[in-house]
Amino acid sequence: MHDMSTHPAQHHHTAPTSFIRKHVFSLDHKVIGKQYYGLALIAVYIGMALSWLMRLHLGWTNLAIPGLQWLSKTGAPGGVMTPEYYLQLMTMHGTIMVFFVLTTAPFAGFGNFFLPIQVGAEDMPFPRFNMMSFWITFVAFIILMTAFFVGDGPPLSGWTAYVPLSAIGAAAGPGQGLGQILWAASIATFCIGQLLGSLNFITTTLDLRTRGMTLMRMPLTVWAWFITSCMGLTAFAVLLPACILLILDHVAGTSFFIASGLVVNGALVPHSGGSTLLWQHLFWFFGHPEVYIAIVPGVGIVSHVLITNMRRPLLSSKVLIGCMATLAFLSYVVYGHHMFVSGMNPFSGLVFSFPTLIITIPATIIVLIWIGSLYGSKIRINSASLFALGFISMFVSGGVSGFFLAQPSLDIYLHGTYFVVGHFHMVMAVAALFGIFTGTYFWFGKMFGRMMNETLGKIHFWLTFVGTYAIFMPFHYLGFAGNVRRYQAFVDDYLQPLIPVHRYITVAALVTGAAQLIFLYNLIHSRFWGPIAPENPWEATSLEWITTSPPPFDNFGGKHIEVFHDPYQYGIEGSTNDYVMQNSPEQIHTERDEK
Amino acid sequence: MATTVHEPPKIGPVRGAKTARGNGGWNLVPADGDLRVGERGSPPPASVGVWVGMAAITMSFAAFTSALIVREGASSDWQHFSLPSILYINTVLLLISSFTLELGRRSVARVMSRSQDQAKAPPLWFYVTLALGVLFVAGQYVAWLKLKSEGLYLATNPSSSFFYVLTAAHALHVCGGLGGLVRVIRKLRRSDLRRSTLDATSYYWHFMDVLWLYLLMLLWSKM
């Protein structure tokens, strides 16, 4: 029949020889993937340290944190955080985590490494753009980090940088001058890096699939990365102009966002006529697809790992793919649910609430497919599968609170409270983090040639699983008790009884954070002294497992790969093992094979 | 340092001349003028890539457009002004450059169908396109100078702000297209030019045309 697959790229590059070309400015998608992962690793520990500082301050407002005064003399004199500095640390925590961890590791990190291999390609079609995309992202990170050390520190307007606070300049508070400009420049730079990355992902998926690899024979991870890159292409392309306009309001005296008649610190702001809501519309048009960019790769990775460990395919991979695509499509029409109380036309509340409730349907179907597939399976328990199961738990727990927030009438009360913070931390931050851990434990051997320690992995899982529930479940209680978010201290009478809850959460956060050091130790120790990884330690079927650990420069050692069926042939009657490799011509009989 | 290895262009026997693909289906050149015949019917990555890039650029300008529309309605301080007339001259230059680019593509195809050596294909029309593109960017700068002479700077008024932002963003992307044209000319002279590279660069250039026509309409109706 008419074969819809394509040939690998006709151009190929020769193996690099110099150190710089091999490890620094590499054109190899595998090195670029590892570089992204390394960047995310550094970013996540910085972000986590920031969260510890925040939590210490929330529990004990006047606590002198030793050493903090060296980070900022004005922000933490004698180690005691000023209220503004709390907000500055909070802004950086959110920005670093959302952009440089959740967008970088599951999508750019694992995607860059495994997408070409899983479709049977030698590399991506635009390796120089790919290399540029990493280094541009790295430069964006450096720009963001310099905000800590210049002027009066990083911005305090939150990762959402709402105007007018973020647009009127230094009059708005410490960090709102140079710090905010650096923030906007960093994010704009990040957008460009991600656009180049998305370009490569999309063209690899559409054009470089090997012989026999039809679209429906691609692994679920590839579908997840492809869908994510389509979202990234359109979402980041909107954030970039928004950041440019914000920078112009700062440096060029324009008034895109700054409304008339603002009096700040007794002085009339010298801009007028701008639209405050415009920033929110532009930002959230990017912002909602962004949270799906953070989670969809995790959905793909978790599906892939669950199937491998269950030793049987999902109830329906096709429906799962359709659900991921529906999530991506709907993500553009729900963004106003972040703006229910912003003062926009109340009728739009209904217009955004309806698709927000609809979008829960594909998400629920995905979870039901997982649970239905797990039912009756004898899943192999290892660190990767534990984190995959943990992902499902987190996604559900965090997702159900979304039902409440989706309704404007309830959101009037819950908006801007810890209920929202609990919701997005569980459904996005922790779930996506679990997705990253799943991928790490599953693919570490393939990426680095040595396996991670399973015992440490399991300890890491249980401490993290229990710990993150211990941290974030109370957030929902705090939220409907009326605890406002982005407050550095709770001086109102009605919030006093909640301070012990905050202190408990702080202790939980510190303990769970310490558990992440086990992961770091495991990572570093295994990298150098772990047991040598075999080619296919998990008895998995997709194409990354037919090559060496780690793969050679051109992924398959010059072999031209041909695939004959989808990558989830597990538990097949009549096959020699309980699995059939995707490139094996062994005849199999399954009603799920897409012809 | 380049690490891509290019195979010399293969001029193979035409397979299914009527259904020959690999040029996005436009069939602007005779089938046996294909610089490289695809083995299966899939588009080369550069052709897909340029569409992906154009999609992203479209989204960015859509964001700018919505910002303009919202900003215009947000306050009554929108000051109308007449567009500098050089913009219309620049538009004509850009349209002509698209036409000359197509002439260049055809001349390459014609030479290829006669001889095997790309270096014999004169890059003249590509140089003309390049020159017209440079003139366009220079003309945009002249338009800015004209506005400045009328006292309309970036921050003077929201309408002038958007004028500068939109024209500058477009000019920046046109400069990217100029870079692409330079690359095409260099590769042509080294007999190293692939059909997909030429196609992708051309599509991008025509897209700059279309985008400019849209922006001109937007500016004309709003300024």
- A413-458 pLDDT, tens digit per residue, is 999 999 999 999 999 999 999 999 999 999 999 999 999 999 999 9
Tokens 């992203």 label which residue? Answer: B56
Judging contacts by C-beta atoms under 8 Å, the chain A residues touching residue B71 are: 256, 273-275, 278
Given a cut of 90, is residue A541 above it in pLDDT? Answer: yes
**DSSP run (H or E) holding B4:** strand B4-5
Residues in chain B whose Cβ is within 8 Å of chain A: 1, 3-7, 36, 39-40, 42-46, 48-49, 52-53, 55-57, 59-64, 66-67, 70-71, 74-77, 154-155, 158, 161, 165, 169
* Rounded Cα distance, A76 and B19, in Å: 71
How is chain B split among helix, strand and coil, in percent rounded to 5? 70, 0, 30
B73 part of a folded domain:
yes
What distance in Å separates residue B60's CA from the closest CA in chain A?
5
B78 part of a folded domain:
yes
What distance in Å separates residue A570's CA from the closest CA in chain B?
31
Cα distances from B103 to residues B28, B98, B167, B179, in angstroms, run: 10, 9, 27, 19
Give the CATH number for residue B128.
1.20.120.80
Between A12, A202, A242, which is nearest B63 by CB? A242
**DSSP run (H or E) holding B220:** helix B195-222
% of chain A exceeding 70 in pLDDT = 96
* Rounded Cα distance, B78 and A335, in Å: 28
Judging contacts by C-beta atoms under 8 Å, the chain B residues touching residue A255 are: 155, 158, 161
* Other beta carbons less than 10 A from residue A586's beta carbon: 14
Three-state DSSP class for A562? strand
Token pair of A343, please?
A: 């003062």
Which residues, 6+ apart, have CB-to-CB distance to B18 below 8 Å?
none
A20 part of a folded domain:
no
Give the CATH number for residue A311.
1.20.210.10
Q: What is the pLDDT of residues A31-62, one digit of tens each?
A: 999 999 999 999 999 999 999 999 999 999 99
A–B interface: beta-carbon pairs under 8 A: 134
Is B71 close to A256, i.e. CB distance below 8 A?
yes
Given a cut of 50, is residue A512 above it in pLDDT? Answer: yes
Is B74 close to A274, i.e. CB distance below 8 A?
yes
Is A11 close to B52, i.e. CB distance below 8 A?
no
- Give the nearest chain B residue to A286 (CA atoms): B63
pLDDT reported for residue B26: 36
Judging contacts by C-beta atoms under 8 Å, the chain B residues touching residue A125 are: 45-46, 49
* Rounded Cα distance, B36 and B194, in Å: 7
pLDDT reported for residue B191: 83
Judging contacts by C-beta atoms under 8 Å, the chain A residues touching residue B3 are: 13-14, 16, 21, 27, 127
pLDDT reported for residue B115: 64
What pTM value is reported for the model?
A: 0.91
pLDDT reported for residue B45: 83
pLDDT reported for residue B108: 87
Q: Is the peptide bond before A164 cis (omega within 30 degrees of 0)?
A: yes
A62 part of a folded domain:
no
B93 part of a folded domain:
yes
Residue A450, strand partner residues = A532
Question: For residue B53, what are the domain limits?
Answer: 44-222
Q: What is the pLDDT of residues A564-588, one digit of tens each?
A: 888 998 887 666 678 889 988 876 6
Is A241 close to B56, i.e. CB distance below 8 A?
no
Question: For residue A525, what are the domain limits?
Answer: 86-258+272-546
Picking from B131, B105, B124, B93, the residue whose alpha carbon sits closest to that of residue B34 is: B105
Residue A267, strand partner residues = A264
A159 part of a folded domain:
yes
Contact assessment for residue A26 and residue A131, using Cβ atoms and an 8 Å cutoff:
yes
B213 part of a folded domain:
yes
Pairing of strands A267-268, B4-5: unpaired
Between B40, B77, B169, which is nearest A272 by CB? B77
Q: Is the peptide bond before A174 cis (omega within 30 degrees of 0)?
A: no
How is chain A split among helix, strand and coil, in percent rounded to 5? 65, 5, 35
Is A202 close to B52, i.e. CB distance below 8 A?
yes
* Rounded Cα distance, A497 and A479, in Å: 13
Phi-psi region of A79 (alpha: psi -120 to 50; beta: other; left: phi over 0): left
Contact assessment for residue B121 and residue A218, using Cβ atoms and an 8 Å cutoff:
no
Q: What is the pLDDT of residues B90-121, one digit of tens each?
A: 999 999 999 999 999 988 887 777 766 655 66
pLDDT reported for residue B27: 34
Q: What is the pLDDT of residues A142-201, one digit of tens each?
A: 999 999 999 899 999 999 999 999 999 999 999 999 999 999 999 999 999 999 999 999
Taking the alpha carbons at both ends of chain A, their separation in whole angstroms is 9
Between B4, B49, B61, which is nearest A199 by CB? B49
Best residue of A20, A254, A258, A276 to probe chain B, by most B CBs closer than 10 Å: A254
The string of DSSP codes covering A216-283 is GGS-HHHHHHHHHHHHHHHHHHHHHHHHHHHHHHHHT---SSPPTT-EETTEE-S--S--HHHHHHHH
Between B59, B66, B74, which is nearest A273 by CB? B74
Given a cut of 90, is residue B220 above it in pLDDT? Answer: yes
What distance in Å separates residue B199's CA from the closest CA in chain A?
16
Tokens 């009527």 label which residue? Answer: B18
Between B3, B44, B77, which is nearest A16 by CB? B3
**DSSP run (H or E) holding A468:** helix A454-480
Residue type at B23 in one-letter notation: N
For A105-117, letters b (16+ CB in 10 Å) and e give: bbbbbbbbbbbbb
The string of DSSP codes covering A232-249 is HHHHHHHHHHHHHHHHHH
* Rounded Cα distance, A443 and A439, in Å: 6
DSSP state of A218: S
DSSP state of A482: T
Given a cut of 70, is residue A9 above it in pLDDT? Answer: no
Given a cut of 50, is residue A557 above it in pLDDT? Answer: yes
Is B40 close to A7, i.e. CB distance below 8 A?
yes
* Rounded Cα distance, B133 and B130, in Å: 5
Residue type at A351 in one-letter notation: V
Taking the alpha carbons at both ends of chain B, their separation in whole angstroms is 47
Is A234 close to B49, i.e. CB distance below 8 A?
no
Q: What is the mean pLDDT of the segment spanning B152-173? A: 95
What distance in Å separates residue A169's CA from the closest CA in chain B?
15
What's chain B's Rg over C-alpha atoms? 20
Going by pLDDT thresholds of 50, 70 and 90, the confidence category of residue B35 is very low
Is B158 close to A255, i.e. CB distance below 8 A?
yes
Domain count, chain A: 1
Tokens 């211990």 label which residue? Answer: A470
Which residues, 6+ apart, have CB-to-CB distance to A591 below 8 Å?
none
Q: Measure the CA angle with vertex A139, ends A553 and A116; round to 5°.
A: 25
Three-state DSSP class for A64? strand
What distance in Å separates residue A12's CA from the closest CA in chain B?
6
* Rounded Cα distance, B217 and A400, in Å: 47
Picking from B61, B72, B64, B153, the residue whose alpha carbon sits closest to that of residue A245 is: B64
Tokens 């997982």 label which residue? Answer: A370
Domain count, chain B: 1
- Give the nearest chain B residue to A244 (CA atoms): B165
Q: Is B151 exposed, middle or buried (0-12, 13-18, 19+ CB in 10 A)?
A: exposed
Q: What is the pLDDT of residues B4-16, one digit of tens each?
A: 444 444 443 334 3
Cα distances from A320 to residues A312, A369, A508, in angstroms, run: 15, 7, 35
Contact assessment for residue A131 and residue A153, using Cβ atoms and an 8 Å cutoff:
no
pLDDT reported for residue A370: 97
What distance in Å separates residue A562's CA from the closest CA in chain B?
15
What distance in Å separates residue A27's CA from the closest CA in chain B?
9
Which residues, 6+ apart, have CB-to-CB distance to B7 below 8 Å?
A10, A11
* Rounded Cα distance, A460 and A514, in Å: 10
Q: Is the dihedral of CA B20, B24, B25, B27 positive or negative?
A: negative
A9 part of a folded domain:
no
The string of DSSP codes covering A96-151 is IIIIIIITIIIIIIHHHHHHHHHTT-SS-S-HHHHHHHHHHHHHHHHHHHHTTTST
The string of DSSP codes covering A411-453 is HHHHTTBHHHHHHHIIIIIIHHHHHHHHHHHHHHHHHHSBPPP
Token pair of A455, please?
A: 């015992």
Q: Measure the CA angle with vertex A333, ends A328 and A338; round to 5°.
A: 105
Cα A184 versus chain centre, distance: 20
* Other beta carbons less than 10 A from residue B183's beta carbon: 13
Between B45, B57, B75, which is nearest A203 by CB? B45
Lowest mean pLDDT among A199-213, A548-562, B4-18, B113-127: B4-18
Q: Report ipTM (2 d.p.).
A: 0.92
Going by pLDDT thresholds of 50, 70 and 90, the confidence category of residue A4 is very low
Token pair of A271, please?
A: 């801009």
Helices A178-207 & A110-118 angle (0-180, nearest 10): 10
pLDDT reported for residue B189: 87
Between B59, B76, B155, which is nearest A237 by CB? B59
| Long-range own/partner contacts, residues A495-504 (CB < 8 A, 24 or more apart) | A499/A59, A501/A474, A501/A477, A502/A55, A502/A58, A502/A59, A502/A478, A503/A59, A503/A60, A504/A474
Tell me the average pLDDT of chain B. Answer: 82
A552 part of a folded domain:
no
* Rounded Cα distance, A44 and A37, in Å: 10
